[in-house]
Amino acid sequence: MRTSLKIRIGLLSVTFAQAMVVTALATTPVFAQVAANYTMNLPVPTAAATATCTLLPATAPTTSLALVQTFVDHFTTFDTSLANGWSPHYDGGYDDVNKKFLGYDWSVKRTLSGNAEQEVYVDPNYAGTAGKALGLNPFSAVKGVLHIIAQKTPPELMKYVGNLPYTSGVLTTRKSLIQRYGYFEINAKLPVGQGLWPAFWLLNVDKAWPPEIDIMEAPSVIVKLGQVNNAVHWKDATGANRASSCKPKTPIDDTFHQYGALWTADRIVYYIDRKPVSQIITPPGVNSYMYMVMNLAVGGTWPGNADATTPIPADMQVEWVTSYMVGNPKTCALTTNGVRQCPAQ
């Protein structure tokens, strides 16, 4: 029968019927494109994690963990204006009275000044202080690839965006998907150059910081060493901020790579191309609902500022973003503000 035919989508082998579900969903404007019963088996290290991040050898023994997909976007289309779609700014909370998400017009949610970053995160409708849309769009979806472009701010618009010299993009699932534990992944081609800082990470839904799980950070200062950063941030018993990180060797080249993390109650395992590269015991307090973030920052205290050698425009390319859970995705449900919430199993 035709439904027994196996088809490959990305790294996964699925039935013809499942592929038709994915295809049908991909051609609709529905944001959280989730195929029913779409599963994968993830290799998980058999070695116990420790309290600090530890690199794993390529030969580390693994066992298989079955996961079920809760979210995927293949970027066949892209629109930041959807009510429960990608959010192009950092989270400002939710107004229960006026029934809307906050932060869109807040300049503090359009960059991370604490990092001394040089970019302002924009979208076509963002007005800054101009009183009308500036028409700056860092996003485009072309042939199933999302492009996040960092480029110089037009001089005549600098005064409306806090005099930040670069425009770029950030996208979060705060309005669409929040999840407690699971596997989270981006398939991306990363730009390389002085001051560039692409990342894929998880933030806490209640806006408290930490916790934070950095699935992949690729600031220029470590990329030139052939590394990316895996990290987790948390508060210890005294309330002090703590962090632990690993810097696995990885090719940052002109090809796409999958960067992922398996987050459970017991440990966090980081992956490159679905192979485990590092792990750590899940720190205390890293146990509440989180959402995905991807962005292309420019400059800052860690990578240093962009300079004349930086390849601007810079292009972070994304083929997909996805998440999986252990257990039954039917336990996921919509919250009162329309966000898909997937609990721990």
- Active site (catalytic) residues: 212, 217
Structure tokens at 7: 């088809």
Structure tokens at 1: 């029968």
262 bridge partner residues: 183, 269
- In one-letter notation, the amino acid at residue 262 is L
Number of other residues whose CB lies within 10 A of the CB of residue 158: 15
Structure tokens at 112: 């991370």
The DSSP bridge pattern shows strands 275-281 and 290-298 to be: unpaired
Q: Do residues 202 and 215 lie in contact, with contact meaning Cβ atoms separated by under 8 Å?
A: yes
If phi > 0 it is left, if psi is from -120 to 50 it is alpha, else beta; for residue 274 that is left
DSSP assignment letter at 153: P
What b/e sequence results for 241-279 when a residue is b if at least 16 CB atoms lie within 10 Å of its CB, and e otherwise?
Answer: eeebbbbbebebeeebbbbbbbbbeebbbbbbebebbbb
* Enclosing H/E stretch for 145: strand 145-152
What b/e sequence results for 52-75 when a residue is b if at least 16 CB atoms lie within 10 Å of its CB, and e otherwise?
Answer: ebbebeeeeebeebebbbbbbbbb
CA–CA dist 30, 16 (Å, integer): 21
Q: What are phi and psi of 79, to 5 degrees?
A: -155, 115
CA–CA dist 174, 209 (Å, integer): 15
Q: What are phi and psi of 268, to 5 degrees?
A: -120, 125
CA–CA distance from 12 to each of 19, 39, 42, 274, 329 (Å)? 10, 9, 11, 11, 19
